[in-house]
């Protein structure tokens, strides 16, 4: 049985204030698939992800995400699309004046959850999933950068999304923490949630391989990213 198509872009044009960022862009995402979007800073990676949750409009082409036509979506339907997506940002975007639990509770209440016991149970589930079962009482400033990003990932999981969009989720983290965060996203993907992650960290792509597309020269292209054998990487590290 073939995997469900969750996202389909055909000959899409993505613009910011009438400046073309990506042209003739096509991309398909299937259920349970992990895709890296790589490219230099300013190549259009973030713009691509923003277009998928309607932060940037798509003026040309055909674009469908989870049954929504992004080229013709009504303003009132955008919140419902976003509830089906999990969005992870580079800078975490946690509410700094409240605890981890209150951050997560805020999102659930804002998206229609009303029963206190269900809210409590769901928060416990996502914190366990991201490896922070005992950190719910902490304030964001009491957590490390890696822990804050884990909370952000927990937040993205609250409404059981079919797709997680992670925009440079390791951009503010050290190499070891970055690897742990991306491994977590891979683990989540293995449970059936598709992940699109933008990054310019090619070491991560080599260490935790998946399908790769690249933004360059206003074009999005599939590439056959050659992963070096582990032994070769280890030899190189010893020589440096």
Contact 52, 70 (CB under 8 A): yes
Question: Mutual orientation of helices 100-110 and 116-129 as an angle, nearest 10°?
Answer: 120
Q: How many CB atoms lie within 10 A of CB 135?
A: 18
Contact 106, 98 (CB under 8 A): yes
Q: Say how far apart CA 62 and CA 40 lie, in whole Å.
A: 26
Residue 239 has pLDDT above 50, yes or no: no
230: left (phi over 0), alpha (psi -120 to 50) or beta: alpha
Residue 237 has pLDDT above 90, yes or no: no
Question: Mutual orientation of helices 175-190 and 145-157 as an angle, nearest 10°?
Answer: 20
Q: Say how far apart CA 35 and CA 164 lie, in whole Å.
A: 10
Residue 228 has pLDDT above 60, yes or no: no
The pLDDT value recorded for residue 64 is: 96
C-alpha dihedral sign at 52, 57, 62, 64: positive
- The 8-class DSSP code of residue 84 comes to T
Any idea of the CA torsion for 59, 64, 70, 76, to the nearest 10 degrees? Answer: 170
pTM metric for this prediction = 0.90
- The 8-class DSSP code of residue 26 comes to E
The string of pLDDT tens digits covering residues 153-202 is 999 999 999 999 999 999 889 999 999 999 999 999 999 999 999 998 88
The pLDDT value recorded for residue 90 is: 86
- pLDDT band at residue 129 using 50, 70 and 90 as cut-offs: very high
The string of pLDDT tens digits covering residues 83-115 is 999 999 988 889 999 999 999 999 999 999 999
DSSP string, 197-217: EEES-HHHHHHS--EEEEEET
**What tokens does 188 get?**
């989540």
171: left (phi over 0), alpha (psi -120 to 50) or beta: alpha
């Amino acid at each position: 049985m073939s995997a469900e198509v969750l996202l389909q872009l055909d000959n899409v044009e993505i613009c910011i204030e009438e400046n073309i960022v990506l042209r003739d862009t096509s991309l398909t995402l299937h259920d349970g698939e992990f895709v890296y979007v790589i490219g230099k800073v300013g190549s259009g990676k973030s713009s691509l992800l923003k277009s998928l949750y309607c932060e940037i409009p798509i003026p040309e082409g055909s674009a469908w995400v989870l049954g929504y036509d992004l080229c013709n979506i009504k303003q009132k339907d955008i919140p419902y699309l976003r509830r089906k997506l999990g969005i992870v940002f580079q800078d975490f975007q946690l509410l700094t004046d409240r605890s981890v639990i209150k951050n997560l509770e805020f999102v659930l209440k804002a998206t229609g959850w009303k029963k206190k016991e269900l809210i409590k149970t769901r928060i416990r589930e996502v914190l366990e999933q991201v490896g922070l079962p005992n950190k719910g009482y902490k304030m964001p400033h009491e957590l490390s950068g890696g822990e804050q990003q884990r909370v952000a990932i927990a937040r993205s999981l609250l409404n059981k999304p079919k797709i997680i969009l992670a925009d440079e989720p390791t951009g503010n983290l050290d190499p070891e923490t970055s690897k742990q965060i991306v491994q977590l996203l891979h683990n989540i993907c293995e449970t059936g949630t598709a992940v699109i992650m933008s990054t310019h960290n090619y070491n991560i792509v080599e260490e935790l391989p998946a399908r790769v597309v690249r933004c360059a020269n206003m074009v999005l292209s599939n590439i056959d990213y050659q992963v070096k054998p582990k032994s070769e990487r280890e030899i190189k590290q010893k020589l440096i």
